[in-house]
Structure 1
Amino acid sequence: MKIPMARGAAIALALGVAALAGLPAGATEDAGTIHAAILPFDAHVDIAPDFDSAANPASGDTTGQFDLPKIQRGGLKGAAVAVFVGQEAETPAYLVQARAAAEAQDATIHNFVRHYPQQVEQALTPADVHRIAAAGKFALVESIVNGGAFIDRVEDVDLWASRGARVFGFVHAGHNRLADSSRPALVRAEGASRNGGLSPLGKAVVVRLNSLGILIDVSQLSDAAFADVLALSKAPVVASHSDVRALVDNGRNLTDAQLDALGKNGGVVAINAFSAYLRPRDPAFTAKLEALKAEYGLKGDSSAALPLEKAKEYDRRYHELRASEPKANVDDLVKAIDHAVQRIGIDHVALSSDFNHGGGIIGWADEGEAGNVTAALVSHGYTKAQIGKLWSDNLLRVWGEAQALGR
């Protein structure tokens, strides 16, 4: 059964943002009209572990941040939905496990499309996204995060392309066989670099991705690996979920020089609703985090690797602690957008949530609140055309250029 669009709910949420900003009622109505008229597309979202299971169907209003009722409430018309596997030690046994996990997520994504054919359709091209959205359905683009966890041959890229993956990211938290990460894994006693950027296999994968017309995602890469990709890629690239280091000094964020390089490449940075990368860390929280690291003997380069179970325990406690950290809000998100736009231009900036993997801020806590982002952009003076570029036009253009350069 098709779930009706709850447009009033989205506009009510936008009204809340407008009231906080002191906007006149007319400006709020304009925001609602703009949001309904454009093509809001989330450049990076993950799926919850039990997404669309019998116990947690996507047709229901789940505890996750992405499901059909939230998509409808937020007026979202498409998203890049990730196949993601976490990084562990690179053993033959883990490669088998990682491949199985990636294939299971791929099956979940395809089953989501099959379960709701009147509401969801997979998009393989930017033209598909426009066609699907025009038909009143949700356009799902399959993406990959941390491909180096389950890809160990160049030919594997072709397999994932045949499954419908159209965006490819190399790493997550920790180095792998393709590239170095911006976040070396303390629990595995990783240093700042393992590959010096991209590995030889990673460089070959860049070439293959270009030839297949798959959009390369540079989020999560180390600075050296980021530079390697931009030097090698003949197509523009995307940073599908990245923020600004000039505002929050975190290695996961992009420097102004990296933003400049991305703009010169013709690419796009999708400013990400991830609180820790939008809001400088509170000193009290930082002290708690350092105490947790000390408890596990994690002291940077001098750390010893933790046994797997201890590493998982630390990861669980770290994320529990992070959940208590004060949250950024939509104005913080727009400040980061402003910085990127002023630095490299409106044509090179997009939006992403990173929902179900740590994303979520005050005002855009799930997909049902996507209208609040448009309202905040209106309050900061962005026009309808500019907001359309940020929500989807820029990303779809760059993806189309990458496809056109493929065979």
Structure 2
Amino acid sequence: MKKILVTALALSLAGLGACTNKAGSDPTDEDVSRIHQASLTIDPHIDLRDDFDADSNDAGSETVDQIDLPKLEKGGLDVATLALFADPLRRTPENIALARKQVDAKLAAIQNFVKKHPDKLELARSSADLERIAAEGKHAILLSFLNALSLGKDTSLIDHYYREGVRLFGFAHAGNNDFTDSSRPNAAYGDKPNEAGGLTEIGKQAVPILNRLGIIIDVSQLTTDALNQTLALSQTPVIASHSAVKAIVDNPRNLSDAELKAIADKGGVVHIVAFAAYLKDTAAFRADYKAKIFDPLGLKLGVDDPKEKLSAADYKKFKEAYREFSRNEWKYATLAEYINSVDYAVKLIGIDHVGFSADFNHGGGVQGYASVGDGPNITRELLRRGYSEEDIKKLWGGNFLRVLKEVEAFAAKK
């Protein structure tokens, strides 16, 4: 309950003006606390485990989740954007139904989580809600949607999930679907690189629907063609909710300088993701990923579809191994290495077009920022590097809020 339960010391410092911390010097705890409290802190992409439920998220640091109620309060995260995410699978009617079931189960779990804590959590549906809920000392839960696999070819479901509260929509994850090509097509699912040439006709139809409803379009994980087509079709700014910098790690999920600039030129925001594999090119990470998840079950990475190749019992082992590895991926990079990527983006496209994200519970996190409870460490590192209080507020949530307001204003005219 960040906005109410501030310390007396933070309150006494509130009138002292902006921090003048010099780059390279350590900020005081008082400055870190004051500025973190004063910022509207937003994470636009957090995932949930499939077995996430309200009861297991009251236990605090003993849970395996990187987000739960005690961690939200410790880290002072005002807005947690929770993803209605479906695992990438081969496109079959059965898998589309399975993906939709997964999305709806996560929606129900989030609704129950909020319902159980009405004094501390509230589902947000607008920019005004985000500001009001934070001002009331509660945490806003914002819904996003990732991976249109679960929609099949049905764009009418976008309206359905809007009514449920979705305000951020990402077309793709690691695999093509009926809306778009992914920047990471999966041969194991029958994908071909650039098979649709970017957005499909259905994906192109979805863009004006999202604009009309007032949903932010998320271009993370799109191919360059799909990203550029989205920018051309959208009448509002877009964001990348969980992307990183290709100039630092040459990975297809990361964004090139040209892509970063194109998003900024549209008025959008790139949220640099705290995900080790996309912040530094680490041989140990790649070797461990293969050895701990695929090799024990005789799978060939990028070739075999685990769901099709394995028995039900072995597929369960595969999922458990993936979850266990993902819980520990934060160990492969540091907070300083994360902020190095933030620095790069800020210098390239400007402070008004950059933000933070974690991808917690799906591999995200770094040493020093391993859960939402570690949020103040980001503020401390930014102050150490000489960022101003105004800049920190923009990075933490001001830039996202600006885009959401622009998207809402456009929809209000329709």
TM-score (norm 1): 0.88
- CA 223–319 in structure 1, closer or farther in 2 if over 3 Å, else same: farther
Amino acid at match of 2:46: V
Amino acid at match of 2:110: I
How far is the alpha carbon of 1:367 from its aligned partner?
A: 0.7
Contact persistence 2:86–2:149 (CA under 8 A): no
How far is the alpha carbon of 1:178 from its aligned partner?
A: 0.6
- CA 393–84 in structure 1, closer or farther in 2 if over 3 Å, else same: same
Q: Deviations over 1:342-375 (max 9, x none)?
A: 1111000111111111111000000110000100
User: What secondary structure sits across from 2:144 in the alignment?
Assistant: strand
Query: Aligned ranges for residues 216-365 of structure 1 at < 5 Å?
Result: 216-282=217-283, 284-287=284-287, 296-298=299-301, 303=303, 308-310=308-310, 312=315, 323=328, 327-365=332-370
Cα distance in 2 for residues equivalent to 1:304 and 1:367: 34
How far is the alpha carbon of 1:48 from its aligned partner?
A: 2.4
2:130 matched to 1:125?
Answer: no
Amino acid at match of 1:393: G
Cα distance in 2 for residues equivalent to 1:386 and 1:195: 40
Match of 2:387 in 1: 382
- CA 297–362 in structure 1, closer or farther in 2 if over 3 Å, else same: closer
Cα distance in 2 for residues equivalent to 1:138 and 1:288: 36
2:101 matched to 1:100?
Answer: yes
Contact persistence 2:175–2:191 (CA under 8 A): yes
Amino acid at match of 2:178: R
Identity, in percent, stands at: 42
Contact persistence 1:27–1:378 (CA under 8 A): no
Match of 1:213 in 2: 214
User: What secondary structure sits across from 1:357 in the alignment?
Assistant: coil
Cα distance in 2 for residues equivalent to 1:270 and 1:306: 31
User: What secondary structure sits across from 1:88 in the alignment?
Assistant: coil
Contact persistence 1:6–1:73 (CA under 8 A): no
- CA 324–275 in structure 1, closer or farther in 2 if over 3 Å, else same: closer
User: What secondary structure sits across from 1:57 in the alignment?
Assistant: helix
TM-score (norm 2): 0.86
User: What secondary structure sits across from 2:28 in the alignment?
Assistant: helix
Cα distance in 1 for residues equivalent to 2:150 and 2:276: 26
How far is the alpha carbon of 1:205 from its aligned partner?
A: 0.6
How far is the alpha carbon of 1:59 from its aligned partner?
A: 5.9
- CA 221–324 in structure 1, closer or farther in 2 if over 3 Å, else same: closer
Match of 1:136 in 2: 137
Amino acid at match of 1:63: V
How far is the alpha carbon of 1:320 from its aligned partner?
A: 5.5
How far is the alpha carbon of 1:49 from its aligned partner?
A: 2.4
Contact persistence 1:285–1:325 (CA under 8 A): no
Cα distance in 2 for residues equivalent to 1:306 and 1:276: 22
Match of 1:371 in 2: 376
How far is the alpha carbon of 1:386 from its aligned partner?
A: 0.3
2:166 matched to 1:161?
Answer: no
Contact persistence 2:148–2:178 (CA under 8 A): no
How far is the alpha carbon of 1:53 from its aligned partner?
A: 4.2
Cα distance in 2 for residues equivalent to 1:84 and 1:162: 17
Match of 1:16 in 2: none
Cα distance in 2 for residues equivalent to 1:163 and 1:270: 24
How far is the alpha carbon of 1:222 from its aligned partner?
A: 1.5
Contact persistence 1:102–1:150 (CA under 8 A): no
How far is the alpha carbon of 1:326 from its aligned partner?
A: 5.2
Contact persistence 1:5–1:72 (CA under 8 A): no
Amino acid at match of 1:144: F
Match of 2:19 in 1: none
Cα distance in 1 for residues equivalent to 2:110 and 2:157: 19
Cα distance in 2 for residues equivalent to 1:153 and 1:7: 50
Contact persistence 1:44–1:241 (CA under 8 A): yes
Cα distance in 2 for residues equivalent to 1:48 and 1:280: 26
- Give unmatched runs, 5+ long, in structure 1: 11-20
Cα distance in 2 for residues equivalent to 1:53 and 1:109: 8
Superposed CA RMSD: 2.7
2:66 matched to 1:65?
Answer: yes
